[in-house]
Amino acid sequence: MAEVILSGLSKSYGATQALQGVSMTIPDGAFVVLLGPTGAGKTTILRLIAGLDRPDSGDVRIDDHSVMQDTPAQRDVAMVFQQYSLYPHLTVRDNLAFPLRSPIIAMPQAEIAKRVAEVAEVLRIPHKLDNKATALSGGEMQRVSIGRALVRNPRIYLMDEPLSSLDAKLRADLRIELKRIHADMGATFLYVTHDQIEAMTMATHVGVLDRGKLVQFGTPRDIYENPVSTYVAARLGQPHINLLPAAAFPGAPSTATQIGLRPEHIHVGDGQDATIQRVEHLGDQTRLHLTIGHYSLITLTQPHTALKPGETLKIRPHNPLWFDASGNRI
């Protein structure tokens, strides 16, 4: 376990500016998720921490020690990738043991066997230890890939979209497993994703990246409720936040050009007329797709509502978010 401090990290690849002055503290034992679209700089941060690339400027400190002169092996970090990093001709047992047999670690065989058995229990795959990697399902292969990082007990785990190639059910199952593993081990995780559900369900802290800049860092709840911009507001929340011109509703501040309404922040029963365009039943919730004037928005209602398309409701904002012409929160 370790605290990781990034100070003013910048990195360019040719004419492309991948990171611009990123500073962030990853607390000891935290589960930090970096969130942003492709090209935001998420993977670049992992590579700079791991020592696979060097920054153009800035510093990386692990346990209050600058690691800029340390090799990747000396930094004692472990990475998990999107694609399964397994040796197909080896058994699960040997895949898990492989990192511990390296000359740098050179763990005795008895300790290797013990550590592999412990990690297999954590991952709930002890019955698969003697299977070849090629005989596993996609979810089992990713568990083993994660296990190859866990066996090392490094100072920090770096995970680069490890669940993105799995189907929806496996992603949901492994989200729960990863959070359980984090809680049981008390380890420090830095996890990269573009999936806001992963960020909301797993993170203790979220860092939102936009074109190489860290634009907000905080708890998932704080970022959801108090986004600093329309860009951040749109990164978290399902359904997505409704962003409409400020004039769509009365009461806008003089400098506001947009109003942001989470679906749960639309009060039904009084206010302005809105027409139901579509009723979307999702089992545990029902979404109403509405129009007010020329604008579209989504709100939530009771799962078994009798409302139908074409009907009219009265709605008004409740706890709206206001943004200026630059998209910044007012």
User: Average pLDDT of 219-230?
Assistant: 96
Q: If you average pLDDT over every residue of the chain, what do you get?
A: 91
Sign of torsion over alpha carbons 278, 223, 159, 150: negative
pLDDT in tens, 259-316: 999 999 999 989 999 999 999 998 888 999 999 988 999 999 888 888 999 999 999 9
CB 163 within 8 A of CB 146: no
- Residue 253: how many other CB atoms lie within 10 Å: 12
Domain boundaries, the chain: 4-234, 241-323
Give the H or E element holding residue 20: strand 16-26
Mean pLDDT value across residues 77-91? 84
Residue 245 has pLDDT above 90, yes or no: yes
Name the residue among 259, 254, 255, 319 with its Cα closest to residue 292: 259
Class of domain 4-234: alpha beta
Q: How far is CA 180 from CA 185, 203, 212, 244, 274, in A?
A: 9, 12, 31, 39, 43
Given the candidates 3.20.20.480, 3.40.1000.10, 2.40.50.140, 2.130.10.10, the CATH classification of the domain at 241-323 is 2.40.50.140
Task: Summarize the confidence of residues 20-47 as an average pLDDT.
Answer: 95
DSSP string of 238-253, one letter each residue: SSPPEEEEGGGSS---
Q: Which of 14-28, 120-134, 198-212, 286-300 has the lowest mean pLDDT?
A: 120-134
pLDDT score at 180: 85
- Point out the least confidently predicted range of 77-91, 125-139, 179-193: 77-91
Q: Computed from CA positions of residues 89, 94, 96, 98, in that sequence, does the dihedral angle turn out positive or negative?
A: negative
Q: In what order do the strands lie in the sheet with 65-66?
A: 16-26, 4-13, 57-62, 65-66
pLDDT digits (tens, 9 = 90+) for 57-78: 999 999 999 999 999 988 989 8
pLDDT band at residue 149, thresholds of 50, 70 and 90? confident
Backbone angles phi, psi at 219, to 5 degrees: -70, 155
pLDDT at 190: 97
4-234 and 241-323 have identical folds: no
Which of 19-28, 61-70, 98-107, 248-257 is predicted least confidently?
Answer: 98-107
Specify the pLDDT at position 162. 84
pTM: 0.88
* Residue 204 confidence (pLDDT): 96
14-43 mean pLDDT: 95
pLDDT score for 241: 96
What is d(CA 122, CA 117) in angstroms, rounded to the nearest whole number?
Answer: 9
For residue 50, what are the CA distances in angstroms to 16, 45, 53, 228?
Answer: 21, 9, 8, 30
pLDDT for residue 136: 87
Rounded CA gap, 256 and 245, in Å? 9
